[in-house]
Amino acid sequence: MVARIVLHDADITRALRRIAHEVIESRRGEGHLVFLGIPTRGVTLAQRIQRIVDEIEPGVSSVGSLDITLYRDDLVNSPTRTPAPTRIPTAGIDDAIVILVDDVLYSGRTIRAALDALVDHGRPRSVRLAVLVDRGHRELPIRADFIGKNLPSSTNERVSVRLAEIDGADEVTIDS
């Protein structure tokens, strides 16, 4: 197993900064932005992106988390998973622009589950998807609106995202 670093900490910071700007641009001056991170690392990424957005346009956004464990399509055949907390900002998501944030976009099944989970919390004006890494191999008709890095990979490779808050350092590696 050889781990190759594909994004260093400065690359990650730049990618998140660019995503934050793209999100603001797509808002076109209207609507409240709610960043919902998918546990575990999506939550950290959502917090970082929202912090940048809040510096540029204060007060137009809030941040939370959306756990998808109970909405997974593989619950029946896999060991029981422990859910993580869902924290929806107190104002709710009705009529907001929800930006789902995850670390890696792969099969698309996590995002399918997240869309299901989302409708149980309210009816957003629109839902968009931001990911740090898009590694391809989709199994569902889902695509990201904001992408940190497109990373063509083979299915037997392993993409790992490490973030300072959880893992002590920022980096994205690919093992083959």
Partner 1 sequence: MRHLLSTRDLDRDTAIGILDVAEDMAQTADRQVRKLPPLRGKTVVNLFFEDSTRTRLSFESAAKRLSADVITVVAKGSSVSKGESLKDTAQTLAAMGADAIVVRHHDSGAAHQLAHAGWLDATVINAGDGTHEHPTQALLDAFTMRSWRFGTASRGRDLSGLRIVIVGDILHSRVARSNVWLLTTLGAQVDLVAPRTLLPHGVEHWPVTVYEHLDDALATRCDAVMMLRIQAERMRDAFFPSTREYALEWGLSAERLARLSPDTMVMHPGPMNRGLEISSAAADSRRSTVLSQVTNGVSVRMAVLYLLVSGSGSTAGAE
Q: Which helix (H) or strand (E) holds 14?
A: helix 9-27
Q: Which is nearer to partner 1, 47 or 86 (CB)?
A: 86
Instruction: Give 163's contacts (C-beta < 8 A, 6+ positions apart).
Output: 12, 41, 44, 45, 103, 170
Of 12, 14, 13, 34, the closest CA to residue 23 belongs to: 34
By CB under 8 A, residue 91 contacts partner 1: no
Q: Which two tokens stand for residue 80?
A: 């029981």
d(CA 99, CA 89): 13
Q: Which among 29-37, 70-78, 132-140, 154-162 is the span making contact with partner 1, rule CB under 8 A?
A: 70-78
The least CB distance from residue 82 to partner 1, in Å, is 5
Is 39 among the residues that bind partner 1 (CB under 8 A)? yes
Smallest gap from Cβ 32 to partner 1, in A, equals: 17
109 in contact with partner 1 (CB under 8 A):
no
Query: Among 49, 64, 71, 100, which residue sits at the site for partner 1 (rule: CB under 8 A)?
Result: 71
Nearest CB to partner 1, comparing residues 8 and 81? 81
Rounded to 5°, angle at Cα 156 from 152 and 158: 70
102 near partner 1, rule: CB under 8 A: no
Q: Which of 13, 26, 47, 69 binds partner 1 (CB under 8 A)?
A: 69
As measured in angstroms, the least distance from the Cβ of 114 to partner 1 is: 13
DSSP symbol at 38: P
Count the alpha carbons within 13 Å of 24 in the hemisphere toward its beta carbon.
Answer: 19
* 64 closest CA partner among 82, 49, 83, 81: 49
Q: Is 21 in the site for partner 1 (CB under 8 A)?
A: no
The contact set with partner 1 (CB under 8 A) reads 39-40, 67, 69-71, 75-86, 88, 116, 119-122
